Amino acid sequence: MIEVKNLEKTFGELKVLRGITETINDGEKVAIIGPSGSGKSTFLRCLNLLERPTGGEIWFNGQNIAAKGCDIDSVRRHMGMVFQHFNLFPHLTIRDNITLAPINLKLYTPAQAKEKADALLERIGLSDKADTYPAMLSGGQKQRVAIVRALAMNPQVMLFDEPTSALDPEMVGEVLDVIREVAEEGMTMVIVTHEMGFAREVAGRVLFMDEGLIVEQNTPDQLFGNPQNERLQSFLSKVL
């Protein structure tokens, strides 16, 4: 589904991604772990071109979206993204947060979009919050709304950028539950996370990044249980 070829990204002098080649298959759940500054968020943000790669190719549904002249807006409709800091729109109600893009991109009529939003809110147990504003929600609730806001676009793949890192510990569980549910429905997912337990449970494959490269990847059982790379070993010994 997503094929990355020799992806590079530099900020000024700093080489953040140094030639990543990776394929993410349909329906796969891939977790990306690694120390901070290893480039894992940048890699994820390159996949929907929130960061412009400085080199390499990203193929999605048969087109190189990193190429000049690619209509990135229409590509992004098929790629949902969930941010560390939720990024709900504070001036809109919860329902309007969810319906804004589908309505304005003419995916649904306003009535259809509202129906869909209400169904999604029901699913995450926040129906009673539909007409309130984001400021009235807890962090966990905000992130759950952010997830269904992305789902409302019916994306083919979901990108999660440290979705639980900004949450109070007692709210991590409720957000992971929603992500787990989405995974079980067969959604293709790429998750940058520090929740090793979650990565182990949900991901079919775990990538370990360090200094702009994927230095090791494997099934969760193998990667966590039998790490080969020295840096991965020292990383795991610190976080597990």
Partner 1 sequence: MFEKLLQDLYGAVIRENRWQLYLEGLKNTLLIAGIACLIGILIGLVVALVKFVAAARPSPLWKAAAKVMNAYTTIIRGTPIIVQLLILYNLSYFTEGLYASIIGFGINSGAYVSEIFRSGLNSIDIGQQEAGRSLGLSLGQTMKLIVLPQAVKNTLPALFNEFIALLKETSVAGYIAVRDLTKVADGIRGRTFNSTPLYLAAVVYLIMVVGLAALQKRIERRLARSDRG
Closer to partner 1 by Cβ: residue 79 or 120: 79
Q: Which stretch binds partner 1 (CB under 8 A): 3-11, 71-79, 181-189, 230-238?
A: 71-79
User: 169-184 and 139-151 are packed helices; what angle lies between their axes, rounded to 10 degrees?
Assistant: 20
1/72 with CB nearer partner 1: 72
- The single residue among 25, 74, 165, 233 that binds partner 1, judged by CB under 8 A, is 74
Q: How many other C-beta atoms lie within 10 A of the C-beta of residue 96?
A: 17
Bridge partners, residue 30, by sequence: 190, 205
Q: Does 83 bind partner 1 (CB under 8 A)?
A: yes
Residue with token string 């900020």: 11
Smallest CA-to-CA distance from 43 within 2, 1, 101 is with: 2
Per-residue interface string for the shown chain with partner 1, residues 144-183, x marking contact by CB under 8 A: --x--xx--x------------------------------
CB 47 within 8 A of CB 191: no
Q: Which of residues 215-234 bind partner 1 (CB under 8 A)?
A: none
Q: Is 105 in the site for partner 1 (CB under 8 A)?
A: yes
According to the binding rule CB under 8 A, does residue 53 interact with partner 1? no
Query: Binding to partner 1 by residue 101, rule CB under 8 A?
Result: yes
C-alpha span between 31 and 24 (Å, rounded): 11
Q: At what angle do helices 110-123 and 94-104 cross, to 10 degrees?
A: 140
Smaller CB distance to partner 1: residue 131 or 185?
131
Query: Which residues, at least 6 apart from 225, have a Cβ–Cβ distance to it below 8 Å?
Result: none
89 part of the interface to partner 1, by CB under 8 A: yes
Q: Cα separation of 217 and 197, whole Å?
A: 16
Check residue 91 for interaction with partner 1 (CB under 8 A).
Answer: yes
* Site for partner 1, rule CB under 8 A: 48, 50, 73-74, 76-77, 79-81, 83, 85, 87-93, 100-101, 104-105, 133-136, 146, 149-150, 153
